[in-house]
């Protein structure tokens, strides 16, 4: 079997972060449509046979949370049906599979950080589509790791950090929700977690392979609200000479959205550290590194 790792996705935040890890010792092949179409279910087995990778990381997803409420068919095609077919094809060829999921599989009502075994109760189409995608991957029989994450950002994508910088260029004040709690995650760190899981799944050691299978949580270390993250973005931007805006703390009720957001998106990452040795980086430290990248571009 090949030692290459096929990454489904190329232009998304996680796919870009994975591509940046490509070295002579880590042969990543990043493909998206038309080269690899996750919605062309009948073609997935043949495409996988042709590429013949040693492992597969699914970094593709439908992530337009609010649009998913009215684009349900597309959301389910990319978040459930495609991963189900891909996992099944990987199972048939004994190819290790890493799949990325989300905090939106939970309802956000738990007062403490979520652990992997907590009951799922998604409150949106996006969350339900991702939850059902998880179930399909686990039912496929593939040697798979599912990594749930939250509040992902990078230097170039359409994400909260970039939105704050864009708004600050034109406004003196930005209203940001201060009653939703999570743990911001830099895409580069999430990519590292995915690679760690894949290396373990591809290991010659049976114990390593067994430890890497199942559901894991990974996010940045330390709690924050969206307003906390926005204020941190402004502080880092000001350090580098950028124009900033004041952050006005508002409630979820002040900023209604079509899809319901979890009040608590905090993910407990104890399991992935114990099983795979992946220690989350403090989110403020990761944000500073990302801001360096933004200002260097």
State pLDDT tens for residues 267-289. 999 999 999 999 999 999 999 99
Q: Would you say residue 15 lies in a domain?
A: yes
- Which pLDDT score is estimated for 125? 98
Confidence class for position 26, pLDDT limits 50, 70, 90: confident
pLDDT at 173 over 50: yes
pLDDT at 40 over 90: yes
Q: Would you say residue 250 lies in a domain?
A: no
Domain count across the chain: 1
Buried-exposed string 20-53: b where 16+ CB fall within 10 A, e elsewhere:
eeeeeeeebbbbbeeebbbeebeebbebbeeeeb
Averaged pLDDT score across all residues of the chain? 96
Instruction: Determine whether 126 is an active site residue.
Output: yes
- Which pLDDT score is estimated for 24? 63
- Mean pLDDT for 230-246 is 97
More confident: 22 or 212: 212
Q: Would you say residue 196 lies in a domain?
A: yes
- Which pLDDT score is estimated for 233? 98
- Mean pLDDT for 74-101 is 98
- 34 lies in which domain range? 5-159+184-221+265-281
CB 78 within 8 Å of CB 123:
no
- Assign 81 to helix, strand or coil: helix
Q: Would you say residue 61 lies in a domain?
A: yes
Angle of helix 160-170 relative to helix 283-296, nearest 10 degrees, comes to: 60
Q: Which residue among 62, 76, 114, 126 is the active-site one?
A: 126
Least confident of 19-33, 90-104, 129-143, 233-247: 19-33
- Which pLDDT score is estimated for 2? 64
Write the DSSP assignment of 53-68 as a string of letters: -SEEEE------TTGG
- Which pLDDT score is estimated for 180? 98
d(CA 212, CA 201): 6
- Which pLDDT score is estimated for 157? 82
Buried-exposed string 249-265: b where 16+ CB fall within 10 A, e elsewhere:
bbeeeeeeeebbbbbbb
d(CA 226, CA 107): 17
pLDDT at 23 over 80: no
- Mean pLDDT for 36-46 is 95
Q: Would you say residue 294 lies in a domain?
A: no
pLDDT at 1 over 80: no
Least confident of 29-33, 92-96, 144-148, 159-163: 29-33
Angstrom CA distances, 136 to 69, 140, 264, stand at 21, 6, 25
Q: Would you say residue 51 lies in a domain?
A: yes
* CATH number of the domain to which 136 belongs: 3.40.50.720
pLDDT at 57 over 70: yes
Least confident of 1-15, 105-119, 172-186: 1-15
pLDDT tens figures, 91-144: 999 999 999 999 999 999 999 999 999 999 999 999 999 999 999 999 999 999
- Which pLDDT score is estimated for 32? 87
- Assign 26 to helix, strand or coil: strand
Q: Would you say residue 260 lies in a domain?
A: no
Element containing residue 2 per DSSP (H, E): none
Q: Could you tell me where the DSSP H helices lie in the chain?
A: 13-19, 44-51, 72-76, 82-92, 125-139, 160-170, 187-201, 206-211, 226-239, 270-276, 283-296
Q: Distance between alpha carbon 2 and the CA centroid of its chain, in Å? A: 26
Q: Would you say residue 245 lies in a domain?
A: no
């Amino acid at each position: 079997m090949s030692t290459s790792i096929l990454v489904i996705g190329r232009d998304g935040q996680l796919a870009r972060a994975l591509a940046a890890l490509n070295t002579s010792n880590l042969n990543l092949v990043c493909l998206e449509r038309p080269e690899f179409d996750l919605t062309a279910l009948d073609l997935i087995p043949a495409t996988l046979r042709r590429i013949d990778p040693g492992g597969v990381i699914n970094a593709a997803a439908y992530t337009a949370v609010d649009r998913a409420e009215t684009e349900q068919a597309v959301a389910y095609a990319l978040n459930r049906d495609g991963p189900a077919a891909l996992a099944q094809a990987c199972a048939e060829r004994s190819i290790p599979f890493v799949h990325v999921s989300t905090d939106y599989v939970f309802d956000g009502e738990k007062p403490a950080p979520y652990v992997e075994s907590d009951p799922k109760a998604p409150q949106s189409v996006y969350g339900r589509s991702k939850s059902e995608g998880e179930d399909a991957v686990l039912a496929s029989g593939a040697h798979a790791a599912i990594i749930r994450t939250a509040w992902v950002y990078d230097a170039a994508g359409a994400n909260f950090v970039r939105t704050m910088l864009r708004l600050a260029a034109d406004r003196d004040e930005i209203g940001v929700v201060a009653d939703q709690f999570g743990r911001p995650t830099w895409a580069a760190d999430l990519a590292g977690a995915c690679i760690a899981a894949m290396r373990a799944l591809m290991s010659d050691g049976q114990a390593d392979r067994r430890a890497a299978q199942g559901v894991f949580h990974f996010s940045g270390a330390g709690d924050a609200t969206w307003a906390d993250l926005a204020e941190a973005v402004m502080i880092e931007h000001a350090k580098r000479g950028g124009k900033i805006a004041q952050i006005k703390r508002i409630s979820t009720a002040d900023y209604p959205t079509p899809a319901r957001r979890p009040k608590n998106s905090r993910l407990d990452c104890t399991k992935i550290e114990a099983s795979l040795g992946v220690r989350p980086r403090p989110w403020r430290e990761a944000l500073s590194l990302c801001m360096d990248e933004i200002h260097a571009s």
